[in-house]
Amino acid sequence: MSATLRVAAAQAESVPGDVATNVATAVALVGTAAGQGARVVVLPELFLTGYAPEAWSVGAALTPEDPRLAPLREAAAGHALVVVAGAAVRRGSGDPPSTPVTLSVLVVDPVGRVTAPYDKQHLFAGERTFFTAGDHGATVSVDGWDLALGICYDGCFPEHAAAAARDGASAYLCPAAYFVGSDHRRDLYYAARALDNGIYVVLSGLVGDCGGQSFGGGSAVYDPEGRVVSRAGDESPAVVVAELRASEVARVQEMNPIERDRVTSLGVRTWLALEE
């Protein structure tokens, strides 16, 4: 594992159903991040297809082989970095219900190959109407760093990041889309996931108007003690970059070994009625 890993969380507005425009925006964000030395760039939830039901149908969803992703593949290869981006992804061929659509992470590697290794497991509200939930966790390795993948609502469940950390992840990458007005919860959840596990958390938040909703951005990197290393507001576009340090993960996990000290069972609960 390399001693450090430079990562970027990027945000911008997404246009529902306009993959070409969103890919072009993604390429620009990747260029900005590469100019600041980033090795990994995280883009928001559903960024490539848009956070809007009309962009989530089988016909509108992407596959890793979609030719419209070519500029993003070229950007990743040209800058020799990894891109993690949210999209609605079509799994297989045919018509629903035989062809599920998942709310997924696309990963573009430094030679331009695209995979879709992770599907959101905790679907939020109306997402359940359109998407099939994922059935497994996923971690990608970059320069020896194990980077776990989550998507937005996944990060609200402590056990999701805990499972990743238990399997050796040193960072948790979360494309997200938080509605305006939910910034307080957003900022608490991901700081807590970092502190819970002694790992870095990289959050990339959708920003601006998309599909009749307004999103608040707030892309950030949190250190293993849950402190903000770098954070954006609600500006668009924005890129925040931070250097992850393996020594800091090791130091915090040694100082605060929550995983080691976690008991496997809390036993049965007893009740005591206190009467006057």
Q: Are 167 and 161 in contact (CB under 8 A)?
A: no
Q: Is residue 230 part of a domain?
A: yes
What are the φ/ψ torsions at residue 193 (nearest 5 degrees)? -65, -35
Q: Is residue 276 part of a domain?
A: no
Q: Is residue 234 part of a domain?
A: yes
Q: Is residue 201 part of a domain?
A: yes
Looking only at the bridges linking them, the beta strands covering 238-245 and 4-11 are antiparallel
Separation between Cα atoms, residue 79 and residue 183, nearest integer Å: 32
Specify the number of domains making up the chain. 1
According to the model, what pLDDT value does residue 56 have?
Answer: 95
Q: Are 250 and 212 in contact (CB under 8 A)?
A: no
User: In this structure, which amino acid lies at residue 17?
Assistant: G
Q: Is residue 142 part of a domain?
A: yes
pTM attached to this predicted model: 0.96
Separation between Cα atoms, residue 256 and residue 169, nearest integer Å: 16
DSSP string over 136-175: S--EEEETTEEEEE--GGGGGSHHHHHHHHHTT-SEEEEE
Range of the structural domain that residue 30 is part of: 4-261
Structure tokens at 109: 């590697």
Q: What tens digit of pLDDT does each residue of 188-218 get? A: 999 999 999 999 999 999 999 999 999 999 9
- Which range, of 86-100, 121-135, 199-213, 228-242, averages the lowest pLDDT? 86-100
Q: Is residue 22 part of a domain?
A: yes
Q: Pseudo-torsion of CA 60, 211, 207, 99, nearest 10°?
A: -30
Q: Are 37 and 7 in contact (CB under 8 A)?
A: no
Separation between Cα atoms, residue 239 and residue 237, nearest integer Å: 7
Output the CA torsion sign for 219, 56, 155, 43.
negative
pLDDT band of 161, cuts 50, 70, 90: very high
Q: Is residue 270 part of a domain?
A: no
On the question of pLDDT at 262 being above 60, the answer is: yes
User: In this structure, which amino acid lies at residue 66?
Assistant: D
Average pLDDT over residues 26-36: 98
pLDDT band of 93, cuts 50, 70, 90: low
For residue 190, what is the domain's CATH number? 3.60.110.10
Q: What tens digit of pLDDT does each residue of 35-51 get? A: 999 999 999 999 999 99
The residue among 182 and 1 whose pLDDT is bigger is 182
Q: For residue 179, what are the β-bridge partners?
A: 215
User: In this structure, which amino acid lies at residue 254?
Assistant: E
On the question of pLDDT at 269 being above 80, the answer is: yes
Q: Is residue 275 part of a domain?
A: no
Nearest C-alpha neighbor of 51 from the set 153, 179, 148: 179
According to the model, what pLDDT value does residue 97 have?
Answer: 58
